[in-house]
A = this chain, B = another copy of it.
């Protein structure tokens, strides 16, 4: 899980440990927060495995909106020089390596064991192509639909029935509603992804696909752009 989070974050831009922790909480919600005690050893491990490498010290702060395929380190360094002349020797800035990118793709495709991992996979699924994303979403959907609780009113007598008090019933009903909400969220994602696949004939360059993905946004609740 940590590897996925770290590699995913670093595939956006090079970062140092402290900043990684902050951005992780931001991207994946406070529930995915990790402690330094696991973060730094993990970075060391990833570096030893050749999946990330330390680059020149670069304060990241508010980065440039990432204009395109421009080498991320270069951009970051440039931003630094422009912003302040200070050097911060104590920071170790990590960047993802090609091997790391490869590993990231593996981690994104690998069936998620838990909710948090799936969450992270979605957060970084921009690195996949539409077909792979569809697989990701649909696998999750199948998983959810499988061990779905029976609906609130149904068949109280079946299944041993540990639901003999109001609180367990409330819990059970809420669980059911939450699952349904996630299912329809997934259905939306899947439907949109299918549209992308239809609009972009196979073989089209990923640059075009990426641009398209940015443009095609659902008008929902103020998420206009």
Enumerate chain A interface residues (CB-CB to B < 8 A).
12, 22-23, 26-27, 29-31, 62, 65-66, 115, 119, 122-123, 125-126, 133, 147, 149, 152-153, 159-160, 162, 164-171, 173-175, 177-178, 181-182, 185, 188-189, 213-214, 216-218, 220-223
Contact = CB atoms under 8 A, between A and B. Distances in A.
Nearest to A215: B166
Contacts of A168: 27, 122-123
A217 B222 CA distance: 33
Given A23-B162, A174-B185, A167 B222 contact: no
Counting every copy of the chain, the complex holds 2
Contacts of A177: 181, 185, 222-223
A222 B177 CA distance: 9
Given A178-B181, A181-B181, A153 B123 contact: no
Nearest to A154: B222
A153 to B, nearest CB: 3
A166 B23 contact: no
A102 to B, nearest CB: 20
Contacts of A153: 220-223
Given A119-B171, A123-B171, A189-B170, A152 B23 contact: no
Nearest to A62: B160
A215 to B, nearest CB: 10
